Structure 1
Amino acid sequence: MRVSIWIAAAMVLAAVSLEAQAKALTANQQSVCHWGSDIAAGAQASKLSGVSLYGARKKLQVRKFPRPWMRMTALGITEQTYNSASRLKPAAVKQTYYEQCVRHELARR
């Protein structure tokens, strides 16, 4: 019981720390991380529901993106997600992608 309390406390502290780090990013950087995490979660949901990589790529090809770089990036994120052996739920993939994106952006500084 005590171990689970410590684990929960550590997770809360990690979330608060990540939130503070995310605020150090520009609004554009935060937006890109959120967008990428949404793409990764959608790809994971498609993968878990049995949609082929070909089918997921076709959906992205017809989707309208506001920026020219977004289509190729979305295709890359989708392919990486499909190549992963992960069976995590889409929400967990979304959270993990966002956390790693924030860390990456902060490390670039």
Structure 2
Amino acid sequence: MRTLVWMAATFALVTLSLEAQAKDLSKNSRFVCSWGSDIAAGAQASKLSGLTLYGARRKLQARKFPRPWMRMTAMGITEQTYNSPSRLKPADIKQTYYEQCIKHELAQR
């Protein structure tokens, strides 16, 4: 039980630390991480619902994207999500993707 409490407290501190650091990133970097996490969560939901990768890619092809780089990036994120053996819930995938993206952006500095 103590281990669970310690792990939860550690996770909360790491999350708060990442949120504070994320505020230091540019608005564009935070937008890209948030957008990518939404795409990953959607791909995971599609995967868990039984939609094939082909079907998920067709949905993305039909979708309108405001920036030219988004379509191919979304395709890549979706393919990586489908290739992963993960069965996590989409919300967990979204959180993990966002945290890893923020860490990556901070490491690029």
Q: What's the TM-score bracket when you normalise by the shorter of the two chains?
A: over 0.9
What CA deviation, in whole Å up to 9, does each residue of 1:41-100 have, x standing for no partner? 000000000000000000000100000000000000000000001111101100010011
CA distance in 1: counterparts of 2:60 and 2:96, whole angstroms: 22
Secondary structure, counterpart of 2:64 in structure 1? coil
Runs of 4+, deviation exceeding 6 Å: none
What CA deviation, in whole Å up to 9, does each residue of 1:2-48 have, x standing for no partner? 22221111111111111011111101100000000000000000000
| 5+ residue gaps, structure 1 | none
Q: How many residue pairs were aligned? A: 109
Please name the residue that 2:36 is paired with.
36
2:9 is aligned with 1:14? no
TM-score (norm 1): 0.97
Please name the residue that 1:84 is paired with.
84
% identical equivalent positions: 74
CA distance in 2: counterparts of 1:51 and 1:58, whole angstroms: 11
2:20 is aligned with 1:27? no
CA distance in 1: counterparts of 2:55 and 2:72, whole angstroms: 16
